[in-house]
A and B are shown apart, each in its own frame.
Chain A
């Protein structure tokens, strides 16, 4: 059984400590060196992927998207700075009104099954994702497409219902072979790695795609190994069973003397997400009280030695101009103010506020943050109780079922648009799992997505973020530090302003 296995691993580690305690080196600096092609690595991930590997359907879970980023590409794709660069298309033209995109397809792009990418495939893929035939878009945000057509063998024209200046970011939607129906289990795309096999709850294996149109990947083979337990993950890294793992906490990294540690930001919004529909969080005063009662900086200091970035709304700094730093300190840490607001809402010492924080147990940063929150909340007389659940339970009960009071988790953006970040609080969105319903928010959001120029759009989005903060929709905490442990023999890992893990540049040093 798992427990017995853990004890075994633990005792093995104990032996290793005794044997090798003298041999640890902890210099940490990474000498530069060119990577060479070849070799295989194992990458640790904390949660199993979605049951479907179809990139159009599985856009919900960040962990799935992160892995599939290596397998699929859209007409354009994001680069490390968050800009969109042509991928399956070699160039594009946007008409003056901003409602028509003309893509010229790149020559020589092949699918993993060897077939060349044709204009027909592109039309099929975009129509499928946008639900042009069925009427219901599979991928959020593509509902603004009016038509997709191939004007010749290498040109595709996408027409929108109305101008949308953010739209290009949505054309990162994966291009799939037309008519291929097994994307759920045997996905085929155009990315630098091709899918080989998947074993649920265990691993997913990718191999280098030799006919990739661009710079081919360096590694021959990558195995993503699912290790849900944080401590087991650390042990796997210590033992060398896993070569690369992202999203670690600073305390986990402190144990990894044998690994190089790279630091970026995770590009997600960690918060105490509150179910706005039910008591006690249907009262804005209670929500605001919690905002005053939580000391973000302390959480950041304790979970990541101060490496995270404090946030005040559903936006993180990688978004550049959209990020509103002034909202970060909208609710400064003020326990007295919190008590005052709670008293106004009808909670006092004889009748304290009590609620449950549901946390996915496989994400140590969230479990740790929740523990600290419980401690901080107890100082203002709030009785918060933690309940750890498995990731699958969390996803079905909390995220999809919306049966929760509050939860600590991280929300990210599927595309590099403010819309992807903010759409989930629009009351019409199926992703509005916190049941946030606010007419002025919906109004501002709709103005933003139909804005004709960037300035008015930016303004409307900023209005949205301000409403989220003023209404204290959630208790925003931080953009977590993304600490990546990597085998010192490897080089070339790149951080993106999105929650993705690009392995195409990773390779063993010369």
Chain B
């Protein structure tokens, strides 16, 4: 049987690689200093000098999009890492051992997921203060329940499978069974949900920065730029569009990857 090509995955990988390439470029080099103001060139439309035009302080939007996307990307990755690692640990143990701790942690996760995540993040931010790193902590904590629940379910499902029983019979310790035998089997599900989680984190960061509690000015982040650009929607539409499109592309790429991974898994199982 001829294997159908997974266009979602290919397209997603290509788009994400391109975006990550641009982001890495932004860390190493930008055409202009993203925070350097130039009173002589305020709100210029896109040109060869300023590929995406300039903002109200005369800052080069292309440079700011590069750096802003970098900040947003980093926050997204860090949030998914925190949420993913803690989620895998909590979910793994809960799923494997069960018992009252499982009940307690999973009910706590239910409580956290019962509230809108932005609202909870706002509460955390009002307690610990705004800023780039605090946003990572706030969002990271909020992303733990969804991952831990997912991993718990998968681990609980795998626990009763024969290969686990075999491993046990061969004398493997609990930790080895859990991390070496069971966990790799949750990866197909985990990977695509990590990708979706990344997208949610990017959107959450954008919303937080948009509300003024994320990345603090003058440093750029995509959400922050969108919020600033809003005032100039009519006189400088390229400003809002640049930031908006960058968010869309970043999310689209990773979203397609998630979709592609999900599709492959479905086919593999079939």
Binding site for B on A (CB under 8 A): 1-3, 6, 10, 13-14, 17, 230-231, 234, 251-252, 254-255, 257, 298, 301-302, 361, 364, 367-368, 370-372, 374-375, 378, 385-388
Contact = CB atoms under 8 A, between A and B. Distances in A.
A174 B35 CA distance: 48
Tell me if A's interface is mostly helix, strand, loop or mixed: helix
B184 interface: no
A234 B231 contact: yes
Nearest to B208: A3
B13 interface: no
**Considering residues B58, B211, B212, B234, which has the most beta carbons from chain A within 10 angstroms of its beta carbon?**
B234
A201 to B, nearest CB: 16
B210 A375 contact: no
Contacts of A375: 35-37, 57, 218
Nearest to B211: A3
A234 B233 CA distance: 10
Contacts of B232: 251, 254-255
Nearest to A2: B211
Contacts of A387: 129-131, 216
A252 B211 contact: no
A14 B211 CA distance: 20
Contacts of A234: 230-231
A298 B39 contact: yes
Given A371-B217, A378-B35, A386-B216, A252 B231 contact: yes
A368 B59 CA distance: 13
Interface in B192-233: 207, 210-213, 216-218, 227, 230-233
Contacts of B233: 10, 13-14, 17, 255
Contacts of A257: 234
Contacts of A254: 232, 235
A371 B232 CA distance: 17
A367 B217 contact: yes
A3 B42 contact: no
B30 to A, nearest CB: 16
B118 A3 contact: yes
Contacts of A17: 233-234
Interface size class of B (residues with CB under 8 A): 20 to 34
Given A301-B39, A302-B57, A387-B130, 17 more contacts: A3-B118, A3-B210, A14-B233, A231-B231, A251-B232, A251-B235, A302-B58, A364-B231, A368-B57, A370-B217, A371-B217, A374-B35, A375-B35, A375-B36, A375-B57, A378-B35, A388-B216
Given A3-B210, A386-B217, A371 B231 contact: no
B48 interface: no
B126 to A, nearest CB: 9
Contacts of A13: 233
20 contacts: A1-B116, A3-B210, A10-B230, A10-B233, A13-B233, A17-B233, A231-B227, A231-B231, A234-B230, A251-B232, A255-B233, A298-B39, A302-B57, A368-B56, A372-B37, A375-B36, A386-B217, A387-B129, A387-B131, A388-B216
A204 B183 CA distance: 59
Interface of B: 35-37, 39, 42, 56-58, 116, 118-119, 129-131, 207, 210-213, 216-218, 227, 230-235
B interface secondary structure, majority: loop
A231 B57 contact: no
Contacts of A3: 118, 207, 210-211
Given A3-B118, A255-B231, A387-B130, A371 B207 contact: no
B258 to A, nearest CB: 23
A251 B231 contact: yes
Given A3-B210, A302-B42, A371-B57, A231 B230 contact: yes
Given A1-B116, A13-B233, A302 B39 contact: yes
Contacts of A368: 56-57
A230 B57 CA distance: 17
A378 B129 CA distance: 24
A251 B56 contact: yes
Contacts of B36: 375
Contacts of A251: 56, 231-232, 235
Contacts of A2: 211
Nearest to A362: B212
A302 B234 contact: no
A301 B131 CA distance: 29
Q: Which 7 A-B pairs have the closest CB atoms?
A: A231-B230, A371-B218, A375-B37, A361-B212, A255-B234, A254-B235, A231-B231
B47 to A, nearest CB: 20
A316 B227 CA distance: 32
A302 B216 CA distance: 20
Nearest to A255: B234
Nearest to A256: B234
